[in-house]
A and B are shown apart, each in its own frame.
Chain A
Amino acid sequence: MSASWVYFAIYETISPFPLERFVNKKNIKAAKVVLDMAQRGIREYDAKRLLAGFLPQYLKEFSYKGDLALVGPETDLEELASVHPWLKTSKLVVKPDQLFGKRGKYGLVLLDADWDSAKKYLQENMGALVTVGNITGRLSHFLIEPFIPHEEELYVAISSESDGDNIFFSMKGGVFVEENWDSVIRFHVDLLDGIEGIDIKSRLPEGLGEKRVAVENFIKALWRFYADSGFCYLEINPFTFRNGSIVPLDMVAKLDDAEEYWQRKRWLGLSFPEPFGRTLSKEELFIKELDSKTGASLKLTILNPEGRVWTMVAGGGASVIYADTICDLGHAREMANYGEYSGDPNTEETYYYTKTILDLMTRHKDPRGKMLLIGGAIANFTDVAKTFKGVVMALEEYQPKLQEAGVKIYVRRGGPNYEQGLKLMRNLGKKLGVPIEVYGPETHMTRIVPLALGGALQ
């Protein structure tokens, strides 16, 4: 087994987009929902809630109650304690719940605490700036659970790959499982055959003794729960036995958000948080907001606001390739943004998208001037002339600023009605007195990158 799945365990998430659509999905068309589909990390709080809520359907003897309290920046702690009376009576564990791992290693876990010291810990750490790996961000969410004294630390994880799921088990769970990788047993579950016929018990370590039956039943139930609840990664490290029943201590999970339609009951109240340390700028938030209100796709990430090369590329595939080419030609430092627009945005949407980029790129002056690449592949059915309308509106509006900032524009696009679209751009250049070079499908898609960067950035 490669190290790749271990990497999964080192928490990382995929998408910067929170799951607004669970809250307000009426406004969002189906076409949009599917565009952002991916594997997405969930809070340990939600993962354990799902486990406590639904694993008993597969494992009657699973008695974990799921005493869990999530503290966010707005949480009223006294009110929380009245909803969860155990907070005042039990010994507690408090830890950040923001999709990053190795919390113990960073000294962020409070163990065996009473309510007063938990509160004190929360007051001290809420909003604190911490650095995890190479990402710095603010702590905003904490999970509080009863403290479970334990010695035994077991490990179980399930991951997916194309031909089936893999279950990993080890008796040497906890923070050192990666170092003890030899102790990990792997069970492969063929998706078409299921787990029924797999002999787990006889492959479990002797050391488990009488618990082998319980562990086998737990693993089988856990896989069914995993398969039925929309998971694509799940790790309980460690779990332990308390009075003969299994208790999860630390848990990580990712869901396939494409399952939303099938999981709407199980996933009720669940949220997909922003990755740790990612705060959006005002402009990124604006585009995100715009994106959430339409069936089209509008994405913007600012990489370097003082960069001289700005891109406005139609289509997800093409946008990556333009960014690639800028980097491959050695100008990564000058790349100001990454983004794309696709899915037939209307004139208003392309206008605002363009305007946002023009505003950003004309803010900082650079004596060497700036470049805007309006690129794209050959569209299937999108009317190129029509989509350029909003772009043209914004460019007209920003004419003085574009001139002032010495912006040169390079256009490349193909597809239905492209001749007219390109003509529109050519004429605009003459009208605005802003240099606009325009190319169609006869020119290689990314050729405008060396054309723009060739002379100017040397």
Chain B
Amino acid sequence: MSETSKKSYVLFDRNTKAFVYGYQTNAIQRMLDFDFICNRPEPSISAIINPSRAGIHKAFWGTKEILLPMYKSIPLAAKAYPEGDVMVNFASHRSAFDTTMEALAEDSIRIVAVIAEGVPERQSRIMSLTARKQGKMVIGPATVGGMTAGAFRIGNTAGTIENIIASKLYRPGCVGFVSKSGGMLNEAFNIISRNSDGIYEGVAIGGDRYPGSTMLDHILRYEENPAIKMIACLGELGGEDEYRIITALKDGRIKKPLVAWVTGTCSPVLPASVQFGHAGAKADTQKETAQAKNDAFREAGAFVPQSFDGYGDTVRRVYDMLLSQGKVAPLVEPEVPKIPADYSKALASGDIRKPTTFICTISDDSGEEVLYAGKRLSSVLEEKMGIGGVIGLLWFKKELPEYAVGFIELVLQIVADHGPAVSGAHNAIVASCAGKDLISSLCSGLLTIGPRFGGAIDDAAREFKHARETNMTPEQFVKEMKRKGINIPGIGHKIKSVKNPDKRVQLLISYAKSNFPSTELLDYALQVEELTTAKKGNLILNVDGCIGILFLDLMKSCGVFSQAEIDEVVRLGYLNGLFALGRSIGLIGHILDQKRLGSRLYRHPADDIAYMMPSKDEIRCKRAA
């Protein structure tokens, strides 16, 4: 027990600390929001118990965020927070019994609220008897729980914050309320707040036949609690619980005014077999009918309306009586802190708006099916658009003609690999041999792609396009580049030459010649190649250059791209993406190959390195300088 001074009739106060069993994030936030508008000094939740994960949970405390610890078991949580004496048990009906019994076994936990519906009667009875034997209390099963106004709420009791504020549950009134039905709790809070100074405490014991605590248990607590001036209860037909209350009224254990109503007065006109909402609501004898119970309440001195319709009026009559007798004082309303609206809720209701940080124009995963440039993935597949088609959608936002798709796929296949010795593959292999994972090794290879390795596609496209558009003759172009002292991008190969032509280039050219409406820029480039190869045999149009130039021909002749779009493709450097994408296939292959082979760490042989240290003089010189 958290404080020895805590009176036994007090279930919850403003310092109550609870555990929430089950990762019910909404209920947790609702409890904290309630705490906050009650101006509680601290949150009411000590810890969350989540059998599948330990750690922390982040939640709001007003506008700020706080962390709640999360434990995997009840004993661990109870040990860490001995001041937690309540457990709100959201376990399913299958595990409600085991977890409740486990909680009752902890000395420090004295109240367990069981939310689950469908707990077997035998299990409910055992939980209840076990708690009673220990002087503890079970609320439920099959209930939303209950609350002490201005102090503590069990889980979702009393619904939304708006409802809590409407029924003034953020501060105590003078009415103690108890019902079987959890569904009627909100309504009762509403009725009572409109006809008196409001609820002090309200509990729904649950609709099952054998609730862990009875209406009488709570009424007797209310009787003892000096802050409660009047009691209201809402019973049901079936069972004997109401007669225990009536007996307590008769023998003087209940002295405070009691407003009572028992629902189910319609049962005589219903077929015998109609099951009401609750398992316990079934009148088995004449004595258990609602009429008999209401009559008995009336006879025992309770305030009983003629029908439920008069319940609120009866509450008001009793409250006014207490006011006039001076037994209750008019209440001074406290100021209620505001709970900020949840972003998602406010957004959904159109109350707020927010500029977005990101824009995305190529794909959309917010609907039922992902869209590529507005096209459903299933249509992409049905139409067999292929990798080339998908690149068309995601890179260019275009549905490309079939031969363009074919060209992209041809490029990807052609650049997929070029052996282990080239920079990219070499780097990837070295990284893989060093024990790096696939992605790191792939990145290592991709990082070599640039102006000297595989990255000349865009540059070639840019330079040749510029030359053509400024109407330079091939001769002027070569001369101009020489004057600037730049090698023409896309021209020249380390080992391939006129005599040893690059097969890949030949394949690309032959595809373009037989499929493209026009290969204007290629023809221009070939004229340039004639000039360069005349100077040196290896100054051929290389694969990068060929791809870049042909892509421009493709865009220009296929009729899908405007001139502005073509300019943009070149300006933003789309085309190196083709090489990076295609070559990734080969790089991944090399990395996996090394892993399969179980290759060891690569160390470059020392005899392959010329070690040439600067002389001492050189160093000194530099220092002096």
Please, which residues of chain A bring their CB within 8 A of the CB of B120? 230, 256, 258-259, 262
Q: Given that A162-B125, A321-B184 are contacting pairs, would A315 and B307 also be in contact in the complex, using a CB cutoff of 8 Å?
A: no
By a CB distance below 8 angstroms, the chain A residues around B308 are 321, 324-325, 328, 445-446
- Asked whether any CB of chain B lies closer than 8 Å to the CB of A47, the reply is no
Cβ contact of A162, chosen from B93, B128, B142, cutoff 8 A: B128
- Are A163 and B307 touching (Cβ within 8 A)? no
Asked whether A450 and B309 contact (CB < 8 A) given A34-B117, A327-B266, the answer is yes
Report Cα–Cα, A400/B270, bound state, in Å.
31
Residues of B contacting A327 in the complex (Cβ-Cβ under 8 angstroms)? 265-266, 268-269
Report the stretch among B271-279, B433-441, B540-548 that lies at the interface: B271-279
CA distance A328 to B264 in the complex (A): 10
Smallest distance from the beta carbon of B22 to chain A beta carbons, Å? 14
Tell yes or no: B500 within 8 A of A by CB. Answer: no
Counting contact residues on chain A (CB < 8 A from B), the size range is 35 or more
Contact present for A324 and B166 (CB under 8 Å)? no
| B239-275 to A contact mask, C-beta < 8 Å, 1/0 | 0000000000000000000000001111011111111
Nearest A residue to B92, CB-CB: A30
Quick check: B277 and A315 within 8 Å, CB to CB? yes
Contact of A278 with B by CB under 8 A: yes
Which of A208-216, A359-367, A373-381 forms part of the interface with chain B?
A: A373-381
Taking a contact as CB atoms closer than 8 A, the residue among B93, B125, B290 that contacts A324 in the complex is: B290
Name the interface residues of A257-307: CB closer than 8 Å to any CB of B.
258-259, 261-262, 275, 278, 301, 303
B184 contacts which of A34, A36, A326, A377 (Cβ < 8 Å)?
A377
Please name all residues of chain A whose beta carbon is closer than 8 Å to the beta carbon of B119 when the two chains form the complex.
Answer: 258
Give chain B interface residues in 66-110, CB to chain A under 8 Å: 92-94
Closest residue of A by beta carbon distance from B142: A34
Q: Whole-angstrom distance between the alpha carbons of A324 and B182 in the complex?
A: 18
Contact B190–A335 (Cβ < 8 Å): no
| Complex-state Cα separation, A8 to B94, whole angstroms | 28
- Are A316 and B274 closer than 8 Å at their CB atoms? no
- B160 with A320: CB separation less than 8 A: no
Interface presence of B121 (CB below 8 A): yes
Which of the 9-residue segments A11-19, A61-69, A77-85, A236-244 touches chain B?
A11-19
What would 26 A/B residue contacts be, using CB atoms closer than 8 Å? A15-B273, A30-B118, A31-B117, A33-B118, A34-B117, A34-B142, A37-B208, A39-B209, A191-B122, A191-B129, A192-B130, A256-B121, A256-B122, A258-B120, A261-B94, A301-B270, A315-B183, A317-B207, A318-B183, A320-B266, A335-B266, A340-B277, A378-B163, A379-B186, A381-B156, A449-B309
What 5 new A-B contacts, CB under 8 Å, besides A15-B273, A318-B184?
A34-B118, A317-B207, A318-B183, A327-B265, A447-B309
Q: Which of A387-445 contact B (CB under 8 A)?
A: 414-416, 441-442, 444-445
How many angstroms from the CA of A326 to the CA of B264 in the assembled complex?
11
- B binding-site residues for A, Cβ under 8 Å: 92-94, 116-122, 125-126, 128-130, 133, 142, 144, 156, 158-160, 162-163, 166, 181-184, 186-187, 190-191, 194, 207-210, 236, 263-266, 268-279, 281-282, 284-285, 287-288, 290, 306-309, 311-312
Nearest CB of A to B169, in Å: 12
Contact between chains at A320 and B281 (CB < 8 Å): yes
Which residues from A are CB-within-8-Å of B125?
160, 162-164, 191
Report the Cα distance A380→B119, complex, angstroms: 22
Minimum CB–CB distance for B347 against chain A, Å? 15
CB distance from B313 to the nearest CB of A (A): 8
Q: Which residues of A contact B270 (CB under 8 A)?
A: 301, 303, 323, 338
Q: Is the CB of A317 within 8 A of B269?
A: no
Is B129's CB under 8 angstroms from A381's CB?
no
Q: Are A12 and B121 in contact (CB under 8 A)?
A: no
Instruction: Decide: B269 and A332 in contact? CB cutoff 8 A.
Output: yes
How far in angstroms is the closest Cβ of chain B from A38? Answer: 4
* Complex Cα spacing A15 to B272, Å: 9
Whether A14 pairs with B163 at a CB distance below 8 angstroms is: no
- Distance (whole angstroms) from the CB of B234 to the closest CB of chain A: 9
Contact partners of A338 in chain B: CB under 8 A: 266, 270, 274
